[in-house]
């Protein structure tokens, strides 16, 4: 078997709110996508990040329920340098997105922080300290 992971899919409660968050992370998503039930975004390297509304998922999987007690996916964004981690965290939390872990110097040699997207998924921000 020769498989290659090519898509990471997120299930979202509010497409417009989720896309607004990911636009702030630098994804180029046209405004008209806010009203779509499924959106795919090509990422560097050929990967794709997709967004599906809860209604879209239930249209073919009627037993799907929102996960309870935690998240099922976490994303991470590389920043140019440690100061950029702090700046991105401040911009996102200043825009009203929930901060989860304030920026800190992690023992593994990175400046690290974590915010939550509109559906509660953690999005980590990181840069090498050296």
pLDDT in tens, 26-36: 999 999 999 99
Domain residue ranges of the chain, discontinuous segments joined by +: 7-60, 75-128
Please list the rounded mean pLDDT of every run of 10 residues in the chain (130 residues). Answer: 84 96 96 97 92 93 86 89 97 96 94 94 93
Q: What is the pLDDT of residue 3?
A: 65
CA distance 19 to 74: 16
Q: What is the pLDDT of residue 57?
A: 93
Fold exhibited by the domain 75-128? 2,3-Dihydroxybiphenyl 1,2-Dioxygenase; domain 1 (3.10.180)
Fold exhibited by the domain 7-60? 2,3-Dihydroxybiphenyl 1,2-Dioxygenase; domain 1 (3.10.180)
Q: In CATH terms, are 7-60 and 75-128 the same topology?
A: yes
Q: Residue 57 in contact with residue 75, Cβ under 8 Å? A: no
**HEC readout, the chain:** CCCCCCEEEEEECCHHHHHHHHHHCCCCCCHHHHHCCEEEEECHHHCEEEEEEHHHHHHHCCCCCCCCCCCCCCEEEECCCHHHHHHHHHHHHHCCCCEEEEEEECCCCEEEEEEECCCCCEEEEEEECC
């Amino acid at each position: 078997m020769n498989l290659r992971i090519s898509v990471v899919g997120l299930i979202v409660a509010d497409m417009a709110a989720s896309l607004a968050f990911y636009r702030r992370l630098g994804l180029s998503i046209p405004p008209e996508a806010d009203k779509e039930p499924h959106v795919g975004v090509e990422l560097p390297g050929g990967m794709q990040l997709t967004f599906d509304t809860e209604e879209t998922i239930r249209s073919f999987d009627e037993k799907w329920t929102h996960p309870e007690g935690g998240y099922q996916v976490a994303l991470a964004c590389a920043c140019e340098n440690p100061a950029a981690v702090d700046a991105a965290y401040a911009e996102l939390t200043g825009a009203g997105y929930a901060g989860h872990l304030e920026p800190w110097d992690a023992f593994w040699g990175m400046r690290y922080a974590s915010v939550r997207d509109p559906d509660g998924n953690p999005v980590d921000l990181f840069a090498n300290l050296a």
